Amino acid sequence: MECEYKMLLEKITDLLESRISLQQGGDAQTVGICEVCKCETQNIDYLLAGLKDKVVDIWQAYRNYPVQVNYTDRYIRAAYMLSYFPYYINPIYYVLNKQVILNIKGELNVGFLGGGALPELVGLSKYIALHRNSVKNINTTVFDVTTHWDTERRLVTEPLVKNYYKGNYTIDAIPTNLWDEDFIVHNSIKKLDIIILQNTINETTDEGTKIFKNNLVKIWDKLSEGTIFIIIDLNYRAIYDFIKTLTQSLSHMIELVGLSKDSIDSSLPKCYFIQEKLFDPSRGEDGLFPRGSNRDYWNIVLLKE
Ligand SMILES: C[S@@+](CC[C@H](N)C(=O)[O-])C[C@H]1O[C@@H](n2cnc3c(N)ncnc32)[C@H](O)[C@@H]1O
């Protein structure tokens, strides 16, 4: 199994046309900062220094309401891939592992609402590879308004998925504005075994939130019996309120795992290049503080009856 950060750094630098080669010197440490990769070129310092301001832009955007991040900017997406994506792989693995909720054999059809670059798919693939190895095909559909994530999914996420999961998988993208008042539920929703909504609730405005909730109810109504709906999002009061009122509006619903707030570890050893060359404690107040491993997430698992 290759180190996820090594793969991420090499693929992202490829995408930014600044190829680097990392040499692994030994086994990754599971505590502290992993220093087993050595870089043959100085490009990595130059590239990561150039992405610092993009990490700051994203961090500041997430702290302001309404959240407005320009995901069409490839440097913003690159900064997201290095400073957020790695933390968002493990939450779905953790939630699936809480309780046996997947009795699927053979083929699994999964939908991702606001999936972006799909760290959720990496976590799901890891879970399938380790705990449900009877699944030989994973068919995924992403419903996201930003079509630009297609590049990161193909060139970064797919190799990370293959790192864990050796079966077949497909990724279809259906450009979707989830807070469109005239939202029409795509027919492919009906065939899903699981649908996942991770880290997207925050991006709505006041008006958008109401529409989004209505659209989620429309999606829920179209789901087939037996479909599992998983919501994972960050520890904000507004997220708790959103999930609470949403679940009150869903009919034919069983809470398989009730709403809870859990501290979830990123599960990856911290990477020397990210911690030392992308983050910068001297600019901590701007949002470049080196990240810890744990974050609190609201999570809930629902079953359509
Ligand atoms: C913080 S990212 C989360 C992505 C991914 N789920 C994760 O955990 O990394 C929020 C995602 O919401 C998407 N998004 C923003 N506005 C949207 C809208 N109106 N409809 C659908 N997706 C939207 C963005 O393109 C982005 O991929």
Q: What is the pLDDT of residues 233-289, one digit of tens each?
A: 999 999 999 999 999 999 999 999 999 999 999 989 899 999 999 999 899 888 899
Give the count of domains, the chain.
Answer: 1
- The per-residue pLDDT for 204 is 92
Q: Does the beta carbon of 4 lie inside 6 Å of ligand 1?
A: no
**Angstrom distance (rounded) from CA 291 to CA 28:** 18
Asked if 255 and 302 touch (Cβ cutoff 8 Å), the reply is yes
Under DSSP, is residue 258 helix (H, G, I), strand (E, B) or coil?
strand
Check residue 145 and give its pLDDT. 97
- In the prediction, which pLDDT does 158 show? 97
Confidence at residue 173, expressed as pLDDT on a 0 to 100 scale: 98
Q: Would you say residue 84 has pLDDT above 80?
A: yes
114 CA distance to ligand 1 middle (Å)? 4
Q: Which residue has the higher pLDDT, 226 or 30?
A: 226
Q: State yes or no: pLDDT of 30 exceeds 60.
A: no
Quick one: the chain helix, strand, coil %, rounded to 5?
45, 25, 30
Q: pTM of the predicted model, to two decimals?
A: 0.96
Q: Answer whether 39's CB lies under 8 Å from 20's CB.
A: yes
Return the ligand 1 atom nearest residue 180 CA. 19
| Tokens encoding 15 | 């995408």
pLDDT at 18 over 90: no
Q: Is the beta carbon of 209 within 6 A of some atom in ligand 1?
A: no
The residue ranking higher by pLDDT, 165 or 66, is 165
157 in contact with ligand 1, CB cutoff 6 A: no
Q: Is residue 59 helix, strand or coil?
A: helix
203 Cα to the center of ligand 1, angstroms: 7
What single letter denotes the amino acid at residue 273?
A: F
Question: Is it the case that residue 87 has pLDDT exceeding 70?
Answer: yes
Q: Is 179 in the pocket of ligand 1 (CB under 6 A)?
A: yes
- Containing structural domain, residue 266: 4-304
**111 CB near ligand 1 (under 6 Å):** no
User: In this structure, what CATH number is given to the domain that contains residue 214?
Assistant: 3.40.50.150
Q: Is the CB of 115 under 6 A from ligand 1?
A: yes
State residue 20's pLDDT score: 86
Query: Is 204 close to ligand 1, i.e. is its CB under 6 Å away?
Result: no
Q: What pLDDT shows up at residue 207? A: 87
Q: Which of 122, 20, 16, 114 is nearest to 73 (CA)?
A: 16
Mean pLDDT calculated for residue range 39-64: 92
- Ligand 1 nearest atom to the CA of residue 62, by list position: 1
